[in-house]
Structure 1
């Protein structure tokens, strides 16, 4: 009798070089073939050394011709985790047109375009799209207008994609503030002491991604909201 093994599912994680993206990669490494995205190969070197079974996928997500070329070899994709993003904060009066454009470009438009390009591969696998949103995607605070607008838009994109692509699962994850290098920069701008215990750990949020991905196929986890205790 010939026994054929089922290949491991494939997951592409953007922004995987450090912080939350690296934590998600570690969480999925045992069960998935990983494609790890970042802007440069050098940025990916540490996580690829840690997870030698993973494959680097270095491309700037706002370079759309380069993204299309990089995606050509992906014929089937079980999980797409949109984690890459920026937080360039400021009040409305302080925020320039360039800041609004760059925030929306990275946090929303690049997500939509990468998803569009990979839809054939996702459809082939009846795949799962996981979008790392933010508490700012549920409410807007003073000084966070452009960032919140990008995250509100990301939620709308997920809701529309879920309706348009009924063979896919689409999960928006709304974490509170996470203990990462990005968070340290934000707190420094707020001119207060950094206290890691105030924030979620990357591992906790990565665990929520794992929970969504592992949900049996008869269930569709549409939204997960996490807050620091």
Structure 2
């Protein structure tokens, strides 16, 4: 059993992963955006600890975060937001929220959590996106945040290897989540969850990376649906 800090445990990939970890008896520290949301998570995962941190406002992230375990076997960043728009129509609010939640807040949190992960010789894992590898029209802000997250993970990996700490990035393509349903609405497309990767499949991939023996690491893994996206 290990101790893991997760963001984004309220839905989608993060919820599927939290379900798996909690079911097998691991200890969880769950980041919630509000006191109300923290209460929901505490009820869903008895015994878990919660931290209230609004990832939209990284400048307000407390330093220190609060009472934390001395050792963290992993820090897993699953939280993310997306708002599609062509560059000519980007507004500052949606641009800032995507950069803050998807990039700046993971950087701010990671900075504080480095010592606890070092003590456990643990893992920093970033749930990125296929948009962190290739940018498409109307995805500029989201893709920029995910390209930045990839760079941050790469730099962190180079720094932490000497401490026995692993850093991995998982790049899921379209996954059947509430976020994906929202994306389809923004694209004006019909949402069919059966076409896309299951959240359980991505959670299985993350667990595989997390549970690797100490003699190996998976720096990056891409997960794609079998059926390609139709035009």
CA 55–72 in structure 1, closer or farther in 2 if over 3 Å, else same: closer
Q: Do structure 1's residue 57 and structure 2's residue 75 form an aligned pair?
A: no
Residue 43 of structure 1: CA displacement? 2.1
Q: In structure 2, the residue corresponding to 1:36 is in which secondary structure?
A: strand
SS at match of 2:89: coil
Cα deviation for residue 78 of structure 1 reads 1.0
Q: Retained in 1: the 8 A contact 2:84–2:186? A: no
Cα distance, 1:208 vs structure 2: 0.8
SS of the aligned residue for 2:167 comes to: strand
Q: Does 1:37 find its partner at 2:20?
A: no
Match of 1:180 among 177, 181, 192: 177
Residue aligning to 1:106: 101
Gaps of 5+ in 2: 227-231
Question: Shift in Å at residue 31 of structure 1?
Answer: 4.2
CA 1:127/1:71 → structure 2, altered by over 3 Å: closer, same or farther? farther
Q: 2:5 aligns with which of 2, 12, 16?
A: 12
| 1:16 Cα deviation after fit | 0.8
Which region of structure 1 is more displaced relative to structure 2, 189-198 or 63-72? 63-72
Number of residue pairs matched by the alignment = 222
TM-score under structure 2 normalisation?
0.90
Gaps of 5+ in 1: 1-7
Q: Quote the RMSD (CA, aligned, Å).
A: 1.6
CA shift, 1:131, in A, is 0.2
Deviations 1:137-181 (A, max 9, x none): 010011101110110111111111000111210010000111111
Q: Deviations over 1:20-40 (max 9, x none)?
A: 111110121214211111202
